[in-house]
Structure 1
């Protein structure tokens, strides 16, 4: 197997116990050279609300959200946003290399096996972005791992979040609508909302609002990068 990012051959040195165990062997699509360029968030002093790396306390973004919301998201993420992640999403989203959706399969799958939820949904692409790319990047990133339910619709904004500065992101108006299928979910269910990147939290907070306004209380969020 070759790395989906750089094409280098991936050598998986499985232990004898792994080969003969009954546990699922999770496929790996990223080579060690590329993996060394990642900055994992696990075990660091992250913000307790949003997982912002090396915050040591509640970060400034979450302090702003605390002034607006009584309850803040329980968010987790896998990797710090760095140059490698930036380049990855440029290839994946801007240039439409949909095969890269599987690059972090092993990492996301491993996280999913340790964290259980009743209902898992995701931040959908707006109609304009879907037509432009031809695929929904967040859906493709997680579709082979989670049993995803489409419960949200995102309307086209004035311009993409990636083109906004921090203040513009924070002031972005609500862009989500809940689908009727939300009404079929028992209100005591544990909800997980997936996104690709957590920057200020504005997008996920608005998605959180849709479920909170419908009476859900156990709502968590997750992203590949923070």
Structure 2
């Protein structure tokens, strides 16, 4: 097998417990050389609310949201946003290399096996972005791992989040509304909302508010990068 990012060969040697204990084998699509460019968040002194790296307690972002409109208390992420992650999303989203959706399959799959929810949904692309790209990048990133339910619809904003500075992101108005399927879910359900990148938290906060307003209390969020 070759790395989906650089094309180098990947050595997927099976461990003894995978062979003899019939443990689920989770395929790997990223080579060790590329993996060395990543900055995993696990085991670091991250914000306990949003996983912002090296925060030494509640981070300034979360304290800001406390002052404004509440807080996402249960956000988890796998990797710190760095140059490798930036380049990855540039190829994946801007240039439409949809095959890269599986680059982090093993990492996301292993996380999903340790964390369980009743309902898993995702931040959808707006209609214009879907038409421009031809695919929904957040959906494709997670579709092979989770049983995703489409519960939100997103209207087009004035311009993409990636083109906004921090203050513009924070001022972005609510762009989500609930689809009818949301009304069919029991209010006691444990909800997980998926996104690709957590920057200021504005996007996930808006999505979180839709579920909170609908009467859900057990709401968690997850992103590949923070």
What TM-score do the two structures reach when normalised by structure 2?
Answer: 0.98
Instruction: Look up the match of 1:192.
Output: 192
Equivalent pair of 1:151/1:178 in contact (CA under 8 Å)? yes
Q: Does 1:125 align with 2:125?
A: yes
1:171-205 deviation per Cα after TM superposition (whole angstroms, max 9, x unaligned): 10000010011100000000000000000000000
Matches of 2:21 and 2:91, distance apart in 1? 37
| 1:13-28 correspondence runs (5 A) | 13-28=13-28
1:146-180 deviation per Cα after TM superposition (whole angstroms, max 9, x unaligned): 00000000000000000101111001000001001
Instruction: Look up the match of 1:9.
Output: 9
Aligned partner of residue 64 in structure 2, secondary structure: helix
Matches of 1:19 and 1:110, distance apart in 2? 18
Matches of 1:71 and 1:123, distance apart in 2? 18
Instruction: Look up the match of 2:211.
Output: 211
Instruction: Look up the match of 1:35.
Output: 35
Q: Identify if the C-alpha distance between structure 1 residues 73 and 155 changes in structure 2 by more than 3 Å, giving closer, same or farther.
A: farther
Q: Identify if the C-alpha distance between structure 1 residues 2 and 205 changes in structure 2 by more than 3 Å, giving closer, same or farther.
A: same
Question: CA offset at residue 57 of structure 1?
Answer: 1.2
CA-atom RMSD in angstroms: 0.8
Choose 8-17 or 36-45, whichever is displaced more.
8-17
Equivalent pair of 1:66/1:72 in contact (CA under 8 Å)? no
What TM-score do the two structures reach when normalised by structure 1?
Answer: 0.98
Question: CA offset at residue 70 of structure 1?
Answer: 4.0
Instruction: Look up the match of 2:93.
Output: 93
Matches of 1:70 and 1:14, distance apart in 2? 45
Question: CA offset at residue 71 of structure 1?
Answer: 4.5
Instruction: Look up the match of 1:52.
Output: 52
Instruction: Look up the match of 2:170.
Output: 170
Question: CA offset at residue 31 of structure 1?
Answer: 0.3
1:23-48 deviation per Cα after TM superposition (whole angstroms, max 9, x unaligned): 10100000000000000000101011
Runs of at least 5 residues in structure 2 that lack an aligned partner in the other structure? none
Matches of 2:71 and 2:180, distance apart in 1? 25
Matches of 1:134 and 1:87, distance apart in 2? 20
